[in-house]
Amino acid sequence: MGPYLLGLRLSGRRVLVVGGGRVAQRRVPALLEAGAEVTVVSPSVTPALDDLIAAGRIIWHARPYEVGDCDGAWLVQACTDDRSVNTAVAAEAEAKRVWCVRADDKDAAAAWTPASGRVGEISVAVTAGGDPRRAAGIRDAVVEALRDGTVDARRNRTKPVGVALVGGGPGDPGLITVRGRQLLAQADVVVADRLAPRALLDELAPDVELIDAAKVPYGRSLSQETINDILVDRARQGKFVVRLKGGDPFVFGRGGEEMIACAEAGIPVLVVPGITSAVAVPAAAGVPVTHRGVSQEFHVISVHVAPDDERSTVDWPGLARSQGTLVLLMAVERLPKVAEALLRDGRSPDTPVMVVQDGTLPTQRAVVASLSTVADRVSAAGIRPPAIVVVGDVVRVGQEVEMVRAERLP
């Protein structure tokens, strides 16, 4: 017969784990998360369990199992690699009417540990006839569906309210955070930027209102004031609004302005950070923004106005003197003036530069040049926004990695 599934509330209750190896290492954290008072009996334990012991999270008796160890336990886990020990533990537990899980023999165990997962307030537990790998595979599929919202996300009684400012990451839809994907699936209204991962919008339910808030350079644009008004208006209608942005909402994303507008209107705001393209795009092109012995700092600069523009607040002479990596956003159209300013203020003409277009997307491509030649090279290659410009010796690190890879190819 199949097992009778039951959720045990273990908070404040003693659980005995016999064995200190890899199986115990996997099971103890879940028991602690459930609030159990865990006692481990084993002559030795793994380093991970040792850390929990040192932190006072679990009690450890550094000895073999003894009859009487099951006294006072609500649940017993027999996790040793010695079948005779596990049999003895299970026999004592059975005699004392304590549920016992055996790691080595599902048929001889009084209880099974399911493959479990948790998403928010939802717990998932799967048993598959005692087959742990199959159960784990099914568990993973259900948990993933809950996380990305494909399972019943919008029928939740405790649905979020107000506005969520969600960072969508650098472009690849797989790089949005789990929390961001989950909230997107719960939205009644989505206000999406041009650089947001638009492939995710195809997954929205048909009744979700999708508002295009694209700011096309030198083209159509929805003013920031209008966007703020839309967020407040829809939230006041009782709808849950997701403001989906590229990168991170607070890295040149005007997330702060939208948060203030909502706060002034009394609208609750949830912020979900995203992976900023300033770091992710160079990484996708094989370039670390910092590297030991090369650069211990990096600067992220918005070049929405040129260095000689009176509206610029950037200390270009200071950046030219710096030995750190420069990551330039919105710089392609003004790259000639940027290069001119850096060269004038002291950066070496031989400083390597990489310009990456459509970073993390299938259409990603890159141009590598020196600071003195990069503007002409980018123009000749037809590089267009969105693109990230990386200035500094870390570009050579990326080239070195590519050379090593090429040498190892058959």
User: 211 vs 165, 169, 227, 234, 263, CA distance in Å?
Assistant: 14, 19, 9, 11, 21
Instruction: Determine the Cα–Cα distance for residues 47 and 360; give it in Å rounded to an integer.
Output: 37
Give the total residue count for the chain: 410
Tokens coding 399: 């080239």
**376 included as an active-site residue:** no
Give the SS3 label for residue 13.
coil
Q: Which residue of the set 96, 106, 140, 215 is catalytic? A: 215
pTM for the model stands at: 0.70
Digitized pLDDT (tens) for each residue of the chain, 410 residues in all: 778 888 899 999 999 999 999 999 989 998 998 999 999 999 999 999 999 999 999 999 999 999 999 999 999 999 999 999 999 999 999 999 999 999 999 889 999 888 888 877 778 888 887 777 888 899 888 888 877 666 655 555 567 899 999 999 999 999 999 889 889 988 999 999 888 888 888 878 888 999 988 765 544 578 899 999 999 999 999 999 999 999 999 999 899 999 999 999 999 999 999 999 999 999 999 999 999 999 999 999 999 999 999 999 999 999 999 989 999 999 999 999 999 999 999 999 999 999 999 999 999 999 999 999 999 999 999 999 999 999 999 999 988 888 887 777 66
Question: What structural domains does the chain harbor?
Answer: 14-113 (3.40.50.720), 117-151 (no CATH), 162-272 (3.40.1010.10), 278-403 (3.30.950.10)
Q: Which residue of the set 148, 193, 248, 358 is catalytic? A: 193
241: β partners: 163, 189
Tokens coding 221: 């644009």
Alpha carbon 409 to its chain centroid, in Å, reads 32
**172 included as an active-site residue:** no
Are 279 and 356 contacting, i.e. CB atoms less than 8 angstroms apart?
no
> Could you tell me which of 310, 297, 246 has the C-alpha nearest to residue 275?
246
Residue ranges with strand state E in 347-393: 352-357, 365-370, 387-391
Instruction: Determine the Cα–Cα distance for residues 138 and 127; give it in Å rounded to an integer.
Output: 9
Give the SS3 label for residue 135.
helix
